[in-house]
Amino acid sequence: MKIFVLAIASLAIAAAASAQSASPTPPATPPASEAAPSLVEEVVLYPTHAMYPPELVKAGVQGTTTVAARLTPDGTTEHVSVKETSRSEKLDEIAVSIVKQLKYKLKENASGASPAILVPVEFRKDTFSELHKKTCEDLNTDLAYFTTAFPERGPGELGLFDLATGVMFFSLKPSDDKIAFAKSIKGRVANTIATCAAQPELKFFQVITQASAIAPTSK
């Protein structure tokens, strides 16, 4: 009988040990070096920048690459990689190259961990000062690239339209109806796209300015 009792006790101990080992292990606390990366100031490249290839500008290739990196004790970057693509392999390569050349002033880090950062690098084709020179033909090129690279987005989401309507908004007189202006943006953009597709020789900014007068009114 004693042997039988001992055998049952041994089985109970083994079962308890098995149950304990099968219990979920609580997640380990991530080390300080795995803290969420900090988003730093955006780097913007315009067509005049030597690292923004003219052939890409001409083809309408533009966008933002978010680059991940870690900072060394002297403020230089290491372990540089693409976190979010611009949808252009060439722009991504240039963005990584730029971030590798950056140097930051570090704040005192008591943990001694290597800080992780995210650097947005934007390739911005159009500027305020050159807006009046842009042709509809150039817009058509931009839209062809944009709709191919970002099929999930509408053509009206091209950044150029934000730039143009922003310029127009700040040009409004105090007596102008700003609410009506805001409501007309969607129709104005659609009219501009249609007009430029049909008449590529026109100037883009003139078209979008005139289109604001005939844009459909929201009800």
pLDDT attached to residue 35: 75
Question: Where are the extended beta strands (E) located within the chain?
Answer: 38-39, 43-45, 63-71, 77-84, 116-123
Residue type, 60: G
Lowest mean pLDDT among 18-32, 54-68, 150-164: 18-32
All structural domains of the chain with their residue ranges:
33-123, 128-214
pLDDT attached to residue 100: 98
CB atoms within 10 A of CB 70: 16
Question: At 107, is the pLDDT very low, low, confident or very high (cuts 50, 70, 90)?
Answer: confident
- Each residue's pLDDT tens digit, 110-119: 466 779 999 9
Alpha carbon separation from 64 to 25, 57, 103, 122 (Å, rounded): 40, 14, 20, 4
Helix-strand-coil split of the chain, %, nearest 5: 50, 15, 35
Res 49 pLDDT > 90 = yes
Quick one: residue 122, left, alpha or beta (phi over 0 = left, psi -120 to 50 = alpha)?
beta
pLDDT attached to residue 8: 36
Give the residue-averaged pLDDT of 122-141.
97
CA angle at residue 127 from 122 to 129, to 5 degrees? Answer: 155
Q: Tell me the average pLDDT of the chain.
A: 85
- For 20, the token pair is 């304990």
44 backbone dihedrals φ, ψ, rounded to 5°:
-115, 130
CA 14 distance to own-chain centroid: 55
Alpha carbons 37 and 73: distance in angstroms, whole number:
16
Q: What fold, for 33-123?
A: TolA/TonB C-terminal domain (3.30.2420)
With CA atoms as reference, report the closest residue to 78 among 99, 51, 109: 99
The residue ranking higher by pLDDT, 52 or 7, is 52
Residue type, 2: K
